[in-house]
Structure 1
Amino acid sequence: MKALRRFTVRPQLPEPLEPLGALIRNLRWSWHPASKDLFADIDRQLWEQLEGDPLALLGAVSVARLQELAGDEDFLLRMRALSDDLGLYLSEPRWYQQQVAAGAEFPDAVGYFSMEFGLTEVLPNYSGGLGILAGDHLKSASDLGVPIIGVGLLYHFGYFWQSLSADGWQQEHYPAHDPQGLPIERVLDPEAGPGRQLTVSVSMPGGRTLAARVWLAQVGRVPLLLLDADIEENDDHLRQVTDRLYGGDQDHRIKQEILLGIGGVRAINAWCRITGHARPEVFHMNEGHAGFLGVERISELIAAEGVTFDEGLAAVRAGNVFTTHTPVPAGIDRFPVDLVRHYLDGDQHGRSRVLPGIEVERIVALGAEPDPSRFNMAHMGLRLGQRSNGVAKLHGVVSRNMFSGLYPGFEAEEVPIGSVTNGVHLPTWAAREMVEVAGEMADWQDLASASEWPAADRVPAARLWEIRRLLRSRLVDLARATVRRSYLQRGSTEAELDWTDSILDPDVLTIGFARRVSTYKRLTLMLRDPARLKQILLDRDHPVQIVVAGKAHPADEYGKRFMQEMVRFTDDPEIRHRIVFLPDYDMGMASVLCAGADVWLNNPIRPQEASGTSGMKAALNGALNLSISDGWWDELYDGHDGWTIPSANGVDDARRDELEASALYGLVESRVAPLFYQRDAAGVPQAWIDMVRHALAYLGPRVQATRMVRDYVTGYYGPAARYNRRVGQDLAVAKDLAAWKTRVAAAWPLVRVVNVDTSGIGTDPSLGNVMTVRAFVDLADLQPEDVEVQTVTGRVDEHEDLHDITTVPMSVLPAGAESVDPAEGFRFEAQLPLTRSGAVGYTVRVLPRHPLLVSPAELGLVTHA
């Protein structure tokens, strides 16, 4: 007989053990080794069996054991010391507070919205890179003292766990998760009555209401609010809104994103009211999924202050930050416009019932793209975000090109999208031994704020080599157990699997490849020439072994085929001891795999990898990267921290893959493997360890998520807070700015450059001459202070297109100046030194100008001569 529903009864701790509950409820334990050691000592066998889940451990351990621990003074002393240490961690001033004390103008709070958060494998609320990045963002914010409030959804089934069929096809399984069995707490609403959980609601079409209860995951100093729609107030259809991460169709997905954005803002408002926490001054949209938060905030202002939509947009946009993680248009959430209109549910006057006071078509316009039938969530994020960024320098370039259509008339490099390179949380992803090494290399500075690790030579080569051998051995042990378990799931018997006890070798060069299995990441590039790969794996003098892991999206048939091809290759008895596929890749497996690999392989199609942080995790453990020059590697490869696989873009896809696979094989055969096996008299590969030491010291401070969060604080959150205090919190300023934008937009179609003339360069222009450029501009109903007129010069090609442009502002001449004809408009003039030779061209353009514009391209308005 099957249970209709399951629930978890939390244990009652003896009074002396009460601090244990607080230690477990705060997820700092997930990156705090001493706390994990304490939990393990409760019952080591259960700790291993339950895969390091302290809440499950307390539910499984015997009452007798808890009573025994309640009388164990040594255990109680350790527990109290850890409780005191957690209290100090939560209260002492950290980097952020130190910066504020020194005069930095940072926000009182930041709202960080994401569709997924990868914090620990015992809270399975993530699928891959985006969620892991969001989890590392919160942990690093906690370490730095940044006052972030996270907002996400709590998924009843989470993402799937993965197994393989007999023929190597991915199979998905969706175990249900009881919130009471997760390391989260109910958020209580005293206004609703004693013991009542906080709920928020969002209107749905047809007069229905989607309600969601709010849970709290405490991530160190950072609260994470998670919305859960699986409650009695909802009908069966609406209860399923938070069933699966990235599951269902577009109808299901848009309901999730409406709940995240609109319900998330309502949850933050309610939680701040209940707790007295400062409300966010800055809202960070981690991808377009959270875009509806902007229109909810506009709706709030309309209701509370009676502002217009444009005034509300100016005020709300001031404090919004938008991050895109997508390097290709196919990765963006795009909904049918009619579906968006359906869920915004307009009344007879065209105003949304979901977002009162806003006309549905104003919201639709925020997500507009050239295809009028589609609503683009990234476009909405960019239009609602005063500041926007990609997640690596190269990805910033890609994003500026990809979204340049939103800023017609501007060069791609002028598109207002910057970049903050991703990072990873060192205490989460570095093995304990490597955290100790990092401390020594950083000369025992605070690793969360250290910008350099200057003492790398302090760590002996022999010690680094022993640590690397230890980490590799752990990976081998994990691989053997995982492969054995996988073959049993695929139908093998115990009697057939003796060979799994000897797969991989703890002394053989180990290459790791683990990530989401999608087309552009090219899992199977290494299989391009199977015979050559076999030779590399089985080389007598320089053997190589490869550990592969990853999941394909349940709807990605191509990804599943690539995975099946890889699994079938690893099934070959000739080489199955040298290459393995590990199913059900998660955070626990990733921490061992990234630490144990000697080389981390990354071979995406350039430039389709936005960042690719798995190689950063490996680097923090002393692995050397072997990668296509894409994502973060494009900017941080320095010639001594690994190897770059040459890209072959510009040829057809098959030829590109053939060339890049050949380059990969060649690097492993001629450079990577020989260097690894080049040993001194003590058996230490000195040249290899020299590279490892350099990679750790050089990349260590640069690939950390604490560096990333510091970059967000100083480059985005701080400026957004200052701008928001000037515009967003002063509605008179916001109204004036909105009125100015409306006036400029109305006049702009009539703005034109009437005439352009030059003088001063003679008949034979040469370097050093100064050219005077004059332009007469008809500004229609605008005034010179509303615009900036610029000369634009650059190298000119055969199509008369300008490249490598330089802009020089032009000054307006007073109406009474010589040769100024009022009938011809306003006269602007600039002196332009000729500083480059060759084919040079110039033009004149007119841009809107206002002291509160963050970027000249912000309005997407420009007029060229």
Structure 2
Amino acid sequence: MKALRRFTVRAHLPERLAALEQLSTNLRWSWDTPTQRLFETIDPALWAQCRQDPVALLGAVSPARLDELALDGEFLNRLDELAAELDDYLNRPLWYQHQQSDGVAMPNGIAYFSMEFGVAEVLPNYSGGLGILAGDHLKSASDLGLPLIAVGLYYRSGYFRQSLTADGWQHETYPALDPQGLPLRLLTDGTGAPALVELALPESARLRARIWIAQVGRVPLLLLDSDIPENEHEVRGVTDRLYGGDQEHRMRQEILAGIGGVRAIRAYTAIEGLPAPEVFHMNEGHAGFLGAERIRELVDAGLDFDTALTVVRSSTVFTTHTPVPAGIDRFPVEMVQRYFANTAADPDYAPEAALLPGVPLARILALGAEDDPEKFNMAHMGLRLAQRANGVSLLHGEVSRAMFNDLWAGFDADEVPIGSITNGVHARTWAAPQWLELGRELLGSDSFSDPGVWLRVNDVDPGHLWWIRAQLRALLVDDVRARLHRSWLVRGAPEAELGWIATAFDPNVLTIGFARRVPTYKRLTLMLRDPDRLQRLLLDEDRPIQLIVAGKSHPADDGGKALIQQVVQFADRPEVRHRIAFLPDYDMSMARLLYWGCDVWLNNPLRPLEACGTSGMKSALNGGLNLSIRDGWWDEWFDGENGWAIPSASGVANEERRDDLEAAALYDLLEKSVAPKFYERDEHGTPRRWIEMVRHTLQTLGPKVLASRMVRDYTERYYLPAAQSLRSTVSVDGDGQVDFGPARELADYRRRAFEAWPHIDITDVDSTGLPDTPVLGSKLTLTATVQLAGLRPDEVTVQAVVGRVDTGDALLDPVTVDMPYTGTAAGGDHIFATTTPLPVAGSVGYTVRVLPHHPMLASEAELGLVTLA
């Protein structure tokens, strides 16, 4: 018979084992190997059965075993040591605190919003790279001591579990997750009642959410849950699945994540007695409504909309992960109107029924406006609400500046104020224990953050490095066989037909991994472009390769599922099935062994559609070599010796021809470069040229691919400047009195600049000083006469722009030179002039432009206003 209801009861621990509670519920255990080993010693078989989940283990272990451990001196000593280490980790000064001690005015707090978080496989709130990146961000923020609070949604079914049908088609299931059985605690008020956030929905509906807290080291991750008794049935399912449902469903999720997320932070900080975060970081545009909620708070405190927007912008950071417009969330304007319509401008206005009372609907719609008047663009809203924005690799920053150039019309793409911080990965989550041990025993540290540690890889014997790589490959092969066996059984194969799996794959064969989500641009099936040639590579008698493929297609993407089916059906062929496999249900536990054990990590996206692609970083951290199209991070850090670059044919217009060319290049590299290096051995059986590439990869990429480097970059280049901007717009005196005067002054300047700009005119440009035959370095004097339409000369910047010109007179890589104000002409126009040496030879041209200028703007391009001569 089936249970009517299923729920989890936590184990009652003997008092002497009470420390196991904190060790199991603080997710630091997920990247702390000694803590994992402690839990494993409780019951090794049960630990494996519980999928290495400490909370599940403590719920399943027998009381008799717990009583036994409470009298085990060796276990208790280790428990006390690890509990003390965790306490020390949570309380000692770390990098962030040392910066504060050195006098740097660091932010009092940072709020980090993301729709998914991949912290550990026991908390499946992630679908792919965006969530894993967010999880690594939290872990590294914790390791560095950042006062960061993360916010997301708690999905009752997480992302789907993937299996394969007999014919290789992806099948999805959504197992229900009980938060009581996960490393979570409920946020409660002083009376012990659950803290709730509440939002108004159309037609007088209310959406309420409880707040679960996942403690990620020092960082609390607040997860909002709508599946609670306080909600009506029709809204309980808002947080049912990650990326599930229609646009209406997604709108509700994003409203809850953004608006509800800010309210959750307010509840959490009030209950815990913490300062309010100064900086708000949007990891993609999904939670963009958080800025609208912060504006509502300030309007409610008495500010006008423009002043509130100025305060919010100054302290907001927006990170885009999207390299194509099609990847951006866009909602029908009608839908946004329906959710935000009840404002003070409406005749039937009722504050209690308004989602954002006091915030004009027209201003909300303007934040998300785009070329299509019927669409509301979440990325555009994110950019308009944030004074600072970035892409996630150098190349992606360049792509983003071009993609969003229209928001800064009149500026060249390279002037668009979107920077870049290249993603990173959390070393202690993704590095194999063998590498951690090597760091401790041979290199003096397992911190990974010191570049000097990586240089000492030179002192390690090549045979030892090869031994580690061989160990990890053997572990992977064992895991692949086990997963293959389970998958074939699920697909309906009888046990009697699966004997071949026991010898499938070979721990001594060159092993290549390809695992990621399956959108079209990642080109899962490029490897199958010439099936016969791929088969020859797999079965080569002297230099065989074996290929492990994994990935999930979005449940609604039948095209992606068809790509998976093609790979599965090829891998099912009896002649190659021992050399190539598609492993279903790709998750963190599978990924970890793939990164450890694969010799080569394959990535062949359509350039430049891979924003970053951190899976190759995790492989590099384990001595894997990348074989990739130069896209994302690989374009930035490939140096010719740390792997291979697949030549891109992105300039070829015909897609079929492009794929043929790139597939042929891939096969050639495998056959003529990759395999020969792997199988060329010295007298000790060590592939020395291969190991030199491994050594070089560890030395050159090791310090760069770290999430600790990434989070320090965010702190120094975005969080700290954002906090400084906030403090320049909002001042607080010694008595705690808040003065919004600077914000009002900047908002007034913005208003006056936007009003004046259509009327600003450069009426004359005069050049003097050049000889008849100018040479490089000759002095050019430019004088511009400008009508400022009521703005003062110190409220604009006038620049001369000088550079080479092409056949269409477009300036190429121009040099800008400020033109100081020199006086007023007859009629009241203003004169600006400069003398500058010619910076280049050849066909040279110049122009003059006017830009806004204010000390509290992050850049002169920020407002998107420019007048050209």
1:355 aligns with 2:353: no
Aligned ranges for residues 663-742 of structure 1 at < 5 Å?
663-729=665-731, 730-742=739-751
Aligned ranges for residues 305-454 of structure 1 at < 5 Å?
306-347=302-343, 349-350=345-346, 353-439=354-440, 443-444=444-445, 446-448=447-449, 453-454=454-455
Counterpart among 251, 254, 258 of residue 251 in structure 2 = 254
- 2:8 maps to 8
- 1:286 maps to 283
1:748 aligns with 2:754: no
Alignment-mate amino acid for residue 93 of structure 1 = P
1:43-72 CA-partner distances (Å, limit 9, x unpaired)? 111111111011111111111111111111
- Deviation at 1:454? 2.3
Alignment-mate amino acid for residue 97 of structure 1 = Q
Aligned ranges for residues 313-712 of structure 1 at < 5 Å?
313-347=309-343, 349-350=345-346, 353-439=354-440, 443-444=444-445, 446-448=447-449, 453-651=454-652, 652-712=654-714
| Aligned counterparts of 1:67 and 1:437: Cα–Cα separation in 2 | 36
- Structure 1 residues 354 and 61 mapped into 2: Cα distance closer, same or farther (>3 Å)? same
- Deviation at 1:824? 6.7
Counterpart among 811, 828, 846 of residue 802 in structure 1 = 811
1:734-759 CA-partner distances (Å, limit 9, x unpaired)? 00000111011111111011011111
1:367-399 CA-partner distances (Å, limit 9, x unpaired)? 110111100100000011111000000000000
- Number of equivalent positions: 856
- 2:787 maps to 778
| Aligned counterparts of 2:730 and 2:388: Cα–Cα separation in 1 | 14
Aligned residues of 1:536 and 1:544 also touching (Cα < 8 A):
yes
- Deviation at 1:439? 4.8
| Aligned counterparts of 1:608 and 1:375: Cα–Cα separation in 2 | 23
- Structure 1 residues 835 and 664 mapped into 2: Cα distance closer, same or farther (>3 Å)? same
Q: Secondary structure at the match of 2:809?
A: coil
- Deviation at 1:438? 4.0
1:844 aligns with 2:848: yes
Aligned residues of 1:144 and 1:449 also touching (Cα < 8 A):
no
Q: Secondary structure at the match of 1:804?
A: strand
Q: Secondary structure at the match of 1:396?
A: helix
1:215 aligns with 2:212: yes
- Deviation at 1:453? 2.2
| Aligned counterparts of 1:822 and 1:501: Cα–Cα separation in 2 | 92
| Aligned counterparts of 1:290 and 1:460: Cα–Cα separation in 2 | 49
- Deviation at 1:802? 1.3
- Deviation at 1:269? 0.8
Alignment-mate amino acid for residue 104 of structure 1 = V
Alignment-mate amino acid for residue 31 of structure 2 = W
- 1:818 maps to none
- Structure 1 residues 803 and 452 mapped into 2: Cα distance closer, same or farther (>3 Å)? farther
Aligned residues of 1:451 and 1:702 also touching (Cα < 8 A):
no
- Deviation at 1:442? 5.8
- Deviation at 1:653? 1.1
- Deviation at 1:835? 2.5
Aligned residues of 1:315 and 1:728 also touching (Cα < 8 A):
yes
- Structure 1 residues 536 and 336 mapped into 2: Cα distance closer, same or farther (>3 Å)? same
Q: Secondary structure at the match of 2:303?
A: coil
Aligned residues of 2:728 and 2:856 also touching (Cα < 8 A):
no
Q: Secondary structure at the match of 2:126?
A: coil
- Deviation at 1:837? 1.4
- 2:736 maps to none
- Deviation at 1:241? 0.3
1:266-320 CA-partner distances (Å, limit 9, x unpaired)? 111111011111210100000000111111011001112x111000000111110
* TM-score (norm. length: structure 1): 0.98
1:302 aligns with 2:311: no
| Aligned counterparts of 2:720 and 2:443: Cα–Cα separation in 1 | 27
- Deviation at 1:441? 7.3
- Deviation at 1:823? 2.1
- Deviation at 1:346? 2.2
Counterpart among 261, 266, 287 of residue 264 in structure 1 = 261
Q: Name structure 2 gaps, 5 residues minimum.
A: 732-738
Alignment-mate amino acid for residue 259 of structure 2 = I
Alignment-mate amino acid for residue 333 of structure 1 = D
Q: Secondary structure at the match of 2:823?
A: coil
Which stretch shifts more, 63-72 or 348-357?
348-357
Q: Secondary structure at the match of 1:813?
A: strand
Alignment-mate amino acid for residue 67 of structure 2 = Q
- 2:270 maps to 273
Aligned residues of 1:316 and 1:728 also touching (Cα < 8 A):
no
Q: Secondary structure at the match of 2:648?
A: coil
Q: Secondary structure at the match of 2:560?
A: helix
1:832 aligns with 2:836: yes
Q: Secondary structure at the match of 2:602?
A: strand
| Aligned counterparts of 1:616 and 1:452: Cα–Cα separation in 2 | 18
Q: Secondary structure at the match of 2:454?
A: coil
| Aligned counterparts of 2:718 and 2:437: Cα–Cα separation in 1 | 32
Aligned residues of 1:144 and 1:448 also touching (Cα < 8 A):
no
| Aligned counterparts of 1:833 and 1:432: Cα–Cα separation in 2 | 59
| Aligned counterparts of 2:729 and 2:81: Cα–Cα separation in 1 | 47
Alignment-mate amino acid for residue 266 of structure 1 = R
| Aligned counterparts of 1:439 and 1:694: Cα–Cα separation in 2 | 20
Q: Name structure 1 gaps, 5 residues minimum.
A: 816-820
- 2:108 maps to 108
Aligned residues of 2:514 and 2:601 also touching (Cα < 8 A):
yes
* TM-score (norm. length: structure 2): 0.97
Which stretch shifts more, 344-353 or 798-807?
344-353
Instruction: Give the alignment's Cα RMSD to 1 decimal.
Output: 1.3
| Aligned counterparts of 1:407 and 1:139: Cα–Cα separation in 2 | 35
Alignment-mate amino acid for residue 394 of structure 2 = K
Aligned ranges for residues 189-228 of structure 1 at < 5 Å?
189-190=189-190, 194-228=191-225
Alignment-mate amino acid for residue 324 of structure 2 = V
- 2:735 maps to none
| Aligned counterparts of 2:344 and 2:753: Cα–Cα separation in 1 | 31
Q: Secondary structure at the match of 2:610?
A: coil
| Aligned counterparts of 1:109 and 1:441: Cα–Cα separation in 2 | 38
- Deviation at 1:728? 4.0
1:90-140 CA-partner distances (Å, limit 9, x unpaired)? 011111111111122211110000000001110111111000000000001
Q: Secondary structure at the match of 2:127?
A: coil
| Aligned counterparts of 1:417 and 1:66: Cα–Cα separation in 2 | 55
1:299-358 CA-partner distances (Å, limit 9, x unpaired)? 001112x11100000011111000000011111101011111111132461478111111
- Deviation at 1:554? 0.6
Q: Secondary structure at the match of 1:28?
A: helix
User: Sequence identity of aligned pairs in percent?
Assistant: 59
| Aligned counterparts of 2:648 and 2:443: Cα–Cα separation in 1 | 34
Aligned residues of 1:791 and 1:807 also touching (Cα < 8 A):
yes
| Aligned counterparts of 2:792 and 2:770: Cα–Cα separation in 1 | 31
Counterpart among 850, 856, 859 of residue 855 in structure 1 = 859
1:454-473 CA-partner distances (Å, limit 9, x unpaired)? 21112211111111111101
Alignment-mate amino acid for residue 645 of structure 1 = I
| Aligned counterparts of 1:808 and 1:482: Cα–Cα separation in 2 | 63
Aligned residues of 2:96 and 2:144 also touching (Cα < 8 A):
yes
- 2:75 maps to 75
Q: Secondary structure at the match of 1:823?
A: coil
